Amino acid sequence: MKTDTSLLVRPSTSGDIGAITKIYAESVLNGLGTFEIEPPDDVEMMARRNSILQQGLPYLVAERNGEIAGFAYANLYRPRAAYINTVEDSVYIAADMRGTGVGRALLKEVINLSRQAGKQQMVAVIGDSGNRGSINLHKALGFRLVGIMESVGYKHERWVDTVIMQKNLNSDD
């Protein structure tokens, strides 16, 4: 799909599920980007991936030096019919690959593929108002802040905000 000298962004395969599950589990156990408390297993992660792919939406991985460095996807923002043209993005990066451009490469391609799929709006629901990495990534790719829901999650012994950002997929920003 897209490459730089050491990074390949490509559609995920069923063979990637072990690495995807491992990256997500680290985020569940140690981060605030997801409000899940218990990491799902490979079977659940495969079911989630398959559901997204069945909707014609992207589910990508970034590979660096033969290792999965992160994954990203777009899913329907909400299941009701009126939301059919709005998607929500999710980006998860291996702990040792954060800040290296992997998230940017993944999100750019998720945006492009969502646009190609005819989607009109993309929403980012970011766990933790202190998550500067994710907030800055989305801002750099044309998302704007639309709101903060304060203290809506409780994880790691503290109350956590949710930051809502949005991007019009029809604009050239």
Q: Give DSSP secondary structure letters for 69-132.
A: EEEEEEEESSSSGGGTTEEEEEEEE-GGGTTTTHHHHHHHHHHHHHHHTT--EEEEEEE-TT-H
Residue where the block lists tokens 């799909």:
1
Regarding beta strands 144-155 and 121-127, do their DSSP bridges make them parallel or antiparallel, or are they unpaired? unpaired
Residue where the block lists tokens 């799902």:
40
Cα–Cα dist 98/173, whole Å: 24
Length, in residues, of the chain: 173
Q: What is the CATH number of domain 2-168?
A: 3.40.630.30
Average of per-residue pLDDT values in the chain: 95
Cα–Cα dist 20/27, whole Å: 11
Q: What's the token pair of residue 49?
A: 């991936």
pLDDT tens for residues 145-171?
A: 999 999 999 999 999 999 999 999 997
pTM over 0.85: yes
Domain limits, the chain: 2-168
pLDDT tens for residues 60-90?
A: 999 999 999 999 999 999 999 999 999 999 9
154, with CB counted inside 10 A (0-12, 13-18, 19+), is: exposed
